[in-house]
Amino acid sequence: MNDLSVRFYWDIGSTNTYFAFHLLRPIAHRYGARIEYVPLNLGYVFRKHNYALTDEPAAKMRNRLVDLMRWAKKYNLPFRMPDEFPIKTSRVLRGSLVMREYGFEDSYMEDVFSRYWEKNDASIATYEGLASTVAELGVDPKIFEEKAESEEVCQQIIDLTDQALADGVFGAPVTAVEGELYWGKDRLEFVEDHLQELTRRSTV
């Protein structure tokens, strides 16, 4: 029986997470691996590591968008940098846990990533903006909001973020296989190598 799994630490506010989200899924599918999505408060992770994006060299920041558009072209993804960046992501993150309860976590993530990083829709930062996504998936937006604002779900995000820090996570995206961390969208070939090796070992 195949019990391969990968853990995907994410925050929708990360440009590289958009790409990794799309590129990881076909890799996992090839090896029959289950993806465990782990939403985390990336801003808190950055603060714990005393990192600020604005501290990056200006030359690097100028090159960043050019590089992102190279990735979009290479993988035929309709990425565009949103006009409003960054946004508050806590509602999206908590919402993913609510949608997990209904079995729609992946579909919810796919839609909110598309709306923000492809359609320039920053309204996903609000419950009013998220309402259309959850309603289309058959979930009552009012119940969704109540659950997302519950003490239990709020604490879950705190706990998941703390656990991510304890696991050694320092940014997003991070993909973990057997506890080994692969940071960024450009390390996924190593994730595939790892899954390939696990598959080989399981058949020996």
Q: Please state the domain count of the chain.
A: 1
Distance CA 115, CA 11 (A): 15
What digits encode the pLDDT tens for the residues 29-51? Answer: 999 999 999 999 999 998 888 77
pTM of the full structure: 0.94
In terms of residue numbers, what domain contains 62? 5-203
Q: Which range, 52-56, 60-64, 185-189, has the best average confidence (pLDDT)?
A: 185-189
CA distances from 77 to 31, 183, 198 (A): 23, 21, 29
Is the predicted pLDDT of residue 54 greater than 70, yes or no? no
- So what's the pLDDT on residue 2? 59
- So what's the pLDDT on residue 61? 77
- Residue 181 maps to which CATH number? 3.40.30.10
Q: What confidence tier does 204 reach under pLDDT thresholds 50, 70, 90?
A: low
